[in-house]
Amino acid sequence: MRDGKFITIEGIEGAGKSTAIQGLQTLFDHHDINYITTREPGGTQVAEAIRNLLLQHHHECIDPITELLLIFAARRQHVQNVIMPALQQGTWVLCDRFTDATYAYQGSGRGLPRTIIDQLKQMVHCMLHPDLTLLLDVDVATGLNRAGKRSAPDRIEQQADHFFERVRQGYLQCAASEPDHFGIINATESPQQVMIQIKTVLQPMLDLHCA
């Protein structure tokens, strides 16, 4: 049983997730919504340590299944210790990435079978599903160009462009399979236009909150 709304933001590198989250915080403040913002991998002390392990460069290659297990280990900590307690108190949770990222990056990007991800999802958060996922869709060249201007690539960001093309297509497949849960945002537009699209998608949820 939970009262808070669980909203996730997805997209490839440089899609503008962090920028959109700042806009959403302003919007939620305006509507007097109690919320937390958090991220994956991460969101707890242990999960953030796993995030560092995942993103750092190592002398040893991380096997794709090892990567997948680390992501779900971090997710379990996050779900149990942060997301579920907040939702049960009626607090909205705004999360930068969740399991759709795993289908996109480890499934479509790395080529791991969807059935393995389904099984781990069942084990880690069978009762928890986002109320809304905002997919910031941008072409790979634009996303990587934006992200590249900011900092040196981490272990996952250093993948070739065709990896991110598969990730983008993976996200679009997730959205197509669950159209009621996804809002696809054209993230090639300006930050202001992106926020207008996001507000339009969120409006029914905001109206219910205010009713």
Closest distance of CB 119 from ligand Z5A, Å? 15
Choosing from 156, 172, 205, 206, the residue that interacts with ligand Z5A (CB under 6 A) is 156
Which is closer to ligand Z5A, CB of 36 or CB of 156?
156
Q: For helices 64-78 and 114-125, what crossing angle results, to 10°? A: 20
Site string for ligand Z5A, 113-142 (x = CB under 6 A): ------------------------------
Stretch that binds ligand Z5A, among 23-31, 79-87, 97-105, 113-121 (CB under 6 A): 97-105
Q: Which two tokens stand for residue 28?
A: 């939620």
Spatial distance between the Cα atoms of 144 and 107, rounded to a whole number of angstroms:
20
Nearest Cα neighbor of 5 from 35, 27, 29, 25 is 35
Choosing from 95, 175, 194, 198, the residue that interacts with ligand Z5A (CB under 6 A) is 194
Q: What is the DSSP letter of 189?
A: S
Closest distance of CB 38 from ligand Z5A, Å? 11
Parallel/antiparallel/unpaired status of strands 6-10 and 35-39: unpaired
Q: Which two tokens stand for residue 155?
A: 């272990």
Closest distance of CB 32 from ligand Z5A, Å? 25
Question: Using CB under 6 A, which residues numbered 52 to 71 contact ligand Z5A?
Answer: 71
User: Could you tell me the CA-to-CA distances from 16 to 24, 136, 187 in Å, in that order?
Assistant: 12, 7, 7
